[in-house]
Amino acid sequence: MLENRWLALGLDSLLIIFTIYLFFEYFNLFFICKKKRSYIAIGVTVFVIWQVEILNFISFSVAAIYNIGVTIGITLFIVTIMFEGKFWKKCFFCIVFDAIWMLSEMLIHNLLLLYSAALAHSQLFGSFVSKVLLMTVILALKKVFKNEKVIELSDKNSFLLVLIPVGSIYIMSVVFMLAYNISDKLAKIYSFIAVFVLLFINVLIFYVYIEFADILYVKKMNLLYERQLELCERHQEETEVSMLRVREVKHNMKNHFISIIGYVEKREYAELKKFINEIIDEGNLSLSTIVNSGHVVVDSLVEYWNRVAESQEIEFETNVCIPMEMPFKRADISLVLGNLLENAVEGASKAEGKKYIRLKMKYDKDNLLIALENNYKGKLKKLNEKRILTTKEDDVNHGIGLVSVDRAIRKYKGMMFIDDSVPKRFLIRVVLYGNKYE
C-alpha cells in the first residue's frame, strides 16, 4: 500500500510538472516573462497549489458559473504575476487557454466513458491523455505564431472574441451535468460530439484572431504608405520649385556677373557682399536641404523629420552617403527609415537636457547600413537583447510600426542591433543585404 501511495504521488508530481511546462509553452507565445525570479516562483507556487488542491476549488454541487469564475480567476492571477503585458490581453488568452484545457479534459473523459468505463474513472490516466491533447493544440499554435509578434486587437474585437470561449465553457459545464445525470449511452455520444465541436471552435479562435490582426495591420500600413507618399510628393514639389528658382537665377546670371565685375574693379567689397546677399535672398538660394542624396524617399523622410525635430528644438545631425538607386524596394526603405525616425523624434522630444538625433546611412557593396542615435526619457520594454517593444503607452498602434520594421529587415535577410548600454541613450543599427534579396 505504501509503495502504491508513493508511486501515485510520483506520477501526480510528474503530471503537475508536465502541466507547468504546457502552461509556459502556451503563454510564452503571447507574453514576455517578468525578469524578477521571485514573481516566477510565486506564480509557479500558486499554480502547483491550485493543481494539488483543485478539487477543493472546484465543486460540482454549485452553479457552473462559480467553477468558471474560480478557474479563470486563478489562471489570470498567475499570468498577471508572471508575465508582462496589458491586463485585457491577458484576460483574453487566459480565458481561451482555460476553455481549451477544460474542453480537452471533457472530450477525453467522454471518449473514455464510451469505450472504457474503468479508464474513465482513472483521474490520472484521463488527466494525462487530456494534457497530451492540449500539448498537440499548443504545438500547432507555435507553428502559427512562430517568430511573429502578436498584435493586439481593439477592445471591441477582443470582447466579441472572448464571448466564444466563455460561452463554450458554460455550455460544456451544462452538457457535462446533463450527461452525468443521464445514464443513456446516446446522451454520452451527443455530449462527446458537442464537446468536440466546441473544442474545434475554440481552436479556430486563434485563426480568427490572426485574420483580425492582419486586417488591423493592413489598415495601419495603408495609413503609413499614404503618409510616406505625401512626404515624397511634397519633397518632389519642393525640389521642382527649387530647380525653377535656380534656372531663373542662372538666366539672370550674366547681368549679375557684369555687376559683380564692376564692384570688383572699383574695389567696393562691402557693396559687393551686400549685392551677392541680395541675389541669394531674391532667388531663395539660401533654402538648403539637410540631405541631398538623390534618393527621393530617403531625402523626403529626412527632410520631413528634420523639420519636425527643429520644431521641437531637437538637434538633428545627418551623414548620408547613398546612391540614387539601391536594390531595395522604396516602400521597404520608407517603412524602415520612416518608423525609425519617427521613434527617434518621439523619444528625443521627451528627453531631458540637450535633445539630439544622429543619423548615419552608408551604402557599400549592395548593403545598406543605417545607424540612428537619440536620447530619451523613460524605460524600454525589451522583448529580448536585440529587440524592444516600445517606450510609449499606446503600444498597440506603435507595435504595428515595429512589426513592419522587423518584417522588412527579415525580408532582406538583414539584422537589427540595439545598444542601450549608455543610460538615456538609444542606438539602433540596421543592416540590409541587397545581394541576398530574392
CA distances from residue 113 to 83, 117, 171, 189 in whole angstroms, order as listed: 38, 5, 19, 9
Residues with Cβ within 8 Å of 320's Cβ and at least 6 positions away in sequence, in order, are 291, 293, 298, 302, 359, 360, 361
Question: 215: Cβ–Cβ under 8 A, 6 or more apart, which residues?
Answer: none
- The full length of the chain comes to 438
Q: What is the pTM of this model?
A: 0.57
Tell me, what's the pLDDT at 146? 64
pLDDT of residue 121: 67
Cα(370)–Cα(349) distance, integer angstroms: 21
What's the confidence (pLDDT) of residue 239? 66
* Run means of pLDDT, 10 residues per run, the chain, 438 residues: 63 84 88 84 85 58 63 87 84 87 82 72 77 87 67 71 79 71 70 82 81 77 72 68 66 70 76 75 56 79 87 90 86 84 88 90 90 83 50 48 75 85 87 72
Give the pLDDT of residue 373: 92
pLDDT of residue 193: 82
pLDDT of amino acid 65: 65
- How far apart are alpha carbons 123 and 341 in whole angstroms? 58
Q: Is 33 exposed, middle or buried (0-12, 13-18, 19+ CB in 10 A)?
A: middle
Which triple of cell numbers denotes residue 248? 531663373
The pLDDT, as a whole number, for residue 167 is 80
Give residues with Cβ within 8 angstroms of 18, minimum separation 6. 128, 131
pLDDT at 370: 93
Measured over the CA atoms of residue 31, residue 37, residue 38 and residue 40, the dihedral's sign is positive
